[in-house]
Chain A
Amino acid sequence: KAGVTQTPRYLIKTRGQQVTLSCSPISGHRSVSWYQQTPGQGLQFLFEYFSETQRNKGNFPGRFSGRQFSNSRSEMNVSTLELGDSALYLCASSRGGGGINEQFFGPGTRLTVL
């Protein structure tokens, strides 16, 4: 079974631009969560999508948005990029039902904002 895939793996943008990151979950998984990892703030939850609906949201500004498609693939968009948005962005997928519901992480997208 293929794991979680994220594209692109590396991205360089300049301040003020916008960026879209993609995450393809494991087949059969309906939940996709996004996390931001930085040296200063650590791992922080951005949002979770389940069956094309945002189910949970972290404390990030509105510049960070996402969506999920009918095939469970998810995209995350960051508009008006700031230097502080430089980070490793991880997505994780799970079946999304009840119970402990293990999350499987992708390899991440490394975003550098210049």
Chain B
Amino acid sequence: AQTVTQSQPEMSVQEAETVTLSCTYDTSESDYYLFWYKQPPSRQMILVIRQEAYKQQNATENRFSVNFQKAAKSFSLKISDSQLGDAAMYFCAYRIILTGGGNKLTFGTGTQLKVEL
């Protein structure tokens, strides 16, 4: 079974600084998808960034970027120029590619990010 581990329950960052959230996963598959989701206090899950495992290039979305290390099964999220609105719970998620298609996400336990003035 696939597992996703986020070893940092909480992280803090100063406004305008950079923070990196860690995520490791366990899988025997060679192709899969990885995601970072953000869940603010409203509980609305929002996709932050995604990565296809077959792509070596790290995904980037504005201030958000990932460091994808396939051999190490590591998928960390870097947030640059942190803003107060970035404060939220961040979940790393894995999705296996199923023959018949499918959207079964396996989530990590989350990292609560606090942004301080």
Chain A residues engaging chain B, CB cutoff 8 angstroms: 31, 33, 35, 42-45, 48, 50, 55-56, 58, 88, 90, 92, 94, 96-98, 100-105, 107-108
At the interface, yes or no: B56 with Cβ under 8 Å from chain A? Answer: no
**Mind listing 30 A-B residue pairs with CB under 8 Å?**
A31-B103, A33-B103, A33-B104, A42-B108, A42-B110, A43-B105, A44-B107, A45-B105, A45-B106, A48-B104, A50-B102, A55-B102, A58-B104, A92-B103, A96-B101, A100-B33, A100-B50, A101-B103, A102-B47, A102-B50, A103-B105, A104-B47, A105-B37, A105-B44, A105-B45, A105-B46, A107-B42, A107-B44, A108-B43, A108-B44
Q: Are A94 and B103 in contact (CB under 8 A)?
A: yes
B100 interfacial by beta-carbon distance below 8 Å: yes
- Are the CB atoms of A88 and B102 closer together than 8 Å? no
| Cα-based distance from A108 to B43 in the complex (angstroms) | 7
A50, A55, A58, A92: the one within 8 Å of B45 (CB): A92
Number of B positions contacting A (CB below 8 A): 23
Q: Nearest-CB distance from B53 to chain A (Å)?
A: 10
Cα–Cα distance between A101 and B47 once the two chains are bound (Å)? 12
Chain B contact residues, CB within 8 Å of chain A = 33, 37, 42-47, 50, 52, 91, 98, 100-110
When distances are taken between beta carbons in the complex, the residues of chain A under 8 Å from B103 are: 31, 33, 48, 56, 92, 94, 96, 101, 103
Report whether B43 and A100 are in contact in the complex, using a CB–CB cutoff of 8 Å.
no
Residues of B within 8 A of A42 (CB): 107-110
Residues of A within 8 A of B100 (CB): 55
